[in-house]
Chains A and B, each alone.
Chain A
């Protein structure tokens, strides 16, 4: 696979081209840039990210523009919509035409989104297995499906949003562009098994275990795969008092 074929690297380039987000800092600013980049790359009218707690409560949020922020918030005001369903069902909810059926699915959300000029919504859960972080929503003013390429791009932005949330810093990850491909490949059983083990070692929620493993990996300048292998082989253990 060449660099130009790598949607994750491409998504990161899109984000890097976005202007800095003014007074905002940290994760919210990073997510806002990501939303703007995603909207541009996916020929969308806007995009929004909602960070959500396990019970579905909404935490911090970011959007590409004020109108998208409003549309994103709509679902939480009304208590229904593709984003809420994507979070609950732990899978993407792709609605290429809001006027085709969803009125039954979301009787309040559908007309409200329509009033805001939204004709298509694509909601992607931000998750790694059972660790749920939130949802990325992409809004379009025209009905129609995402093409295969756009879908791949959308998943790359989704991966990037997950990484931004886990790593909690503006430039996502040190050297991230270089190991972008690695991360796609590091979809290994061992990595996920290690996450479950560290969760129990630390007595913390699964998402927190992911954060700790990644932080350790960066601090030690190692590869995620190697760290995961050590955890599963019980050569490395996370101590609740010291990590």
Chain B
């Protein structure tokens, strides 16, 4: 990738800071951050994983979401660049997926089939504790990240981690656990809502996600709130799936 212009970078950081206010929703924030990271670095897909109470990495948000990608994130509970970044607290940079079959025998071929050639992973850290990882996929090898790029992406990953401590009482370690658990549960609600819409409309879960996100954008509501309404209020299904 070519190093990002200062103007674009400044714009993204202002936008990110602007969302760190009241009425903050972590899932929406992480979606925004993965979108912006993808467009900044010209990556095919950017995803974000957080560790749950079992120490398992769970998918939270991506610039692009479909079943194939979800599987690619999910398999990294066992192996893959995110698991490596999570365990070592160091970024994995410019890994060539065609050369990575020995390193990640399950992850690498799947990622290659999904059309990716390069992968990077950045640890998300707070107070020396790694809480997840940011995953960047590229369609080509060779447009490698230089040191400047790496620092910028790592800075965005650090901002994502700070988003978890958005509440004012940053001094309390308990707040992190509360936020993290809330966000992990919100992500489950989104999957449940995808299932409900898929069933109600006779479409795939991937199409259902597009419907839910589209509805959230049109009505200017949070993705998590729309998803929750879908699975707790059966009457809302007709509204959302209707013409």
Q: A-side interface residues toward B, CB under 8 Å?
A: 7, 54, 89-96, 125, 127-131, 145, 151-152, 155, 184-185, 187-189, 192-201, 203, 206, 232
User: How many B residues are at the interface, by size bracket?
Assistant: 35 or more
Closest Cβ of chain A: how far from B70's Cβ, in Å? 5
CA distance A7 to B53 in the complex (A): 10
State whether A89 and B231 are in contact (beta carbons under 8 Å apart), knowing that A195-B192, A206-B192 are contacts in the complex.
no
Contacting residue for B182 out of A89, A184, A188, CB 8 A:
A89
A193 adjacent to B231 (CB under 8 Å): no
CA distance A129 to B56 in the complex (A): 17
Q: In the assembled complex, which residues on chain B have CB atoms less than 8 Å from the CB atom of A196?
A: 191-199, 230-231
CA distance A72 to B59 in the complex (A): 35
Q: Is the interface of B mostly helix, strand, loop or mixed?
A: helix
Chain B, residue nearest A54 (CB): B232
Q: List 26 A-B contacts (CB under 8 A).
A: A90-B186, A92-B181, A95-B174, A125-B185, A128-B188, A129-B231, A130-B193, A130-B231, A131-B192, A145-B173, A145-B174, A151-B177, A152-B54, A192-B191, A195-B192, A195-B195, A196-B193, A196-B199, A197-B195, A197-B198, A197-B199, A199-B192, A200-B199, A203-B234, A206-B231, A206-B232
Q: Which 8 A-B pairs have the closest CB atoms?
A: A196-B195, A91-B182, A192-B191, A129-B188, A193-B195, A196-B196, A94-B174, A155-B53
CA distance A194 to B191 in the complex (A): 9
Closest Cβ of chain B: how far from A85's Cβ, in Å? 10
Determine whether B237 belongs to the interface, using a CB cutoff of 8 Å to chain A: yes
Q: B-side interface residues toward A, CB under 8 Å?
A: 52-54, 56, 58-59, 67, 70, 74, 77, 173-174, 177-179, 181-182, 185-186, 188-189, 191-200, 205, 227-228, 230-232, 234, 237
How many pairs of residues, A versus B, come closer than 8 Å at their CB atoms? 109
A189 adjacent to B196 (CB under 8 Å): no
B185 adjacent to A90 (CB under 8 Å): yes
Contacting residue for A152 out of B53, B59, B178, B193, CB 8 A:
B53
Chain A, residue nearest B192 (CB): A196
B193 adjacent to A200 (CB under 8 Å): no
CA distance A232 to B192 in the complex (A): 11
